[in-house]
A = this chain, B = another copy of it.
Amino acid sequence: MEDTEFDLIEKYFSPLGQWSLGHTLVGPGDDCAVVQVPDSRQLCISTDTLINGVHFPAGATGQMVARRSIAAALSDLAAMGATPFGMTGALTLVQISARWLEAFSAEIGDLIKQWQVPLLGGNLSQGSELSITWTVMGLVKPGEFLLRSGAQVGDDIYISGYPGRAGYALDCLLQSREVAASLEKHYSQPTPRLELGEAINGLAHSAIDVSDGLLADLQHLLTASGVGARIDLAALSADAQLVAACGVADSVRFALTAGDDYEVCFTAEHDQRKALELISRQLQLPLIRIGRVIESQMVEFENVPGHLDTALLAKHAGYRHF
């Protein structure tokens, strides 16, 4: 006999709802979950849909779909400086594969504990396209959250982690080329920069998560803040492993445009450099200073590597070939 929606929920997802952080009065299984938001905390909320063949490769394992989709969703909490509080997931399946569902739910089971984000509820549907929508909730102290709109002229601009690696890895994956595990994991196993977000909350002036590509997302931040930026592309070609794999120009191109990084781009004033170096060491996470905020509402580039397709940069009003 075929499994119904309720059998599948019972088998693969109900056990995940057992784990909570003590704020949960009613977990998954009723019409709603009920939670107690701690007094003197405000609630951050974000929702993200990831679709087969768009946000993860068609045929991706249940493990990869779970990891990439949850990381993408939590990355928005990181960019606000919020602490995870809980999430709901809505999965649309095309067909039922016990093996896929086992891998998918086992990975969720690991990640909710690793990232301390209880599963509060969900929805399971059948459709013609595999997709998943996560709605994540996080906590901040009153008024203490990072917005896109806070960048100030003179701020340093940073990007966390390893921009470009995920894009390069995906490129290899799509072309069935081999890729080193140290690069590949940034695509298949992205890590939301939750600790970083909490550490720079109150220190950074503005932040955004990089999900559409660094240039595109930086532009959102600059527009929201009514400012521009001068970017030193040399800072984006300093990843020796990535440069060794694909050269300087492609390193920079992947770092600027790949939408799979789930890193945090933020701005902070010059005086915070020492504090940020300390945070970087404590978290063992690179914080790459890629430029500074300027008054003129354009993006200018320094140290453009030869062989970089400058059409990329020309899309930005302020492109100048230094």
Chain A residues with a Cβ under 8 A of chain B: 25-26, 29-37, 39, 42-49, 51, 54, 76-77, 79-80, 82, 86, 88-90, 92, 120-123, 125-129, 131, 133, 135, 137-138, 140, 142-143, 145, 147-149, 207-209, 224
Contacts and interface: CB of A to CB of B under 8 A. Distances in A.
B120 A45 contact: yes
Given A31-B46, A32-B145, A128-B128, 18 more contacts: A25-B42, A25-B143, A31-B77, A31-B209, A32-B76, A32-B77, A33-B45, A33-B46, A36-B42, A37-B43, A47-B121, A47-B122, A48-B123, A49-B125, A49-B133, A125-B131, A128-B129, A135-B135
Contacts of A46: 31-33, 88, 121
Contact of A54 (B88, B127, B140, B142): B127
A157 to B, nearest CB: 17
Query: Which of A120, A135, A224 is packed against the most chain B CB atoms within 10 Å?
Result: A135
B208 A31 contact: yes
A148 B30 contact: yes
A140 B34 contact: yes
14 contacts: A26-B145, A31-B79, A32-B76, A34-B42, A34-B145, A36-B142, A45-B86, A47-B121, A48-B90, A54-B127, A88-B135, A90-B135, A128-B128, A128-B129
- How many copies of this kind of chain does the complex include? 2
Given A26-B147, A127-B129, A133-B123, A32 B45 contact: yes
B37 A37 contact: yes
B51 A125 contact: yes
Contacts of A43: 34-37, 43
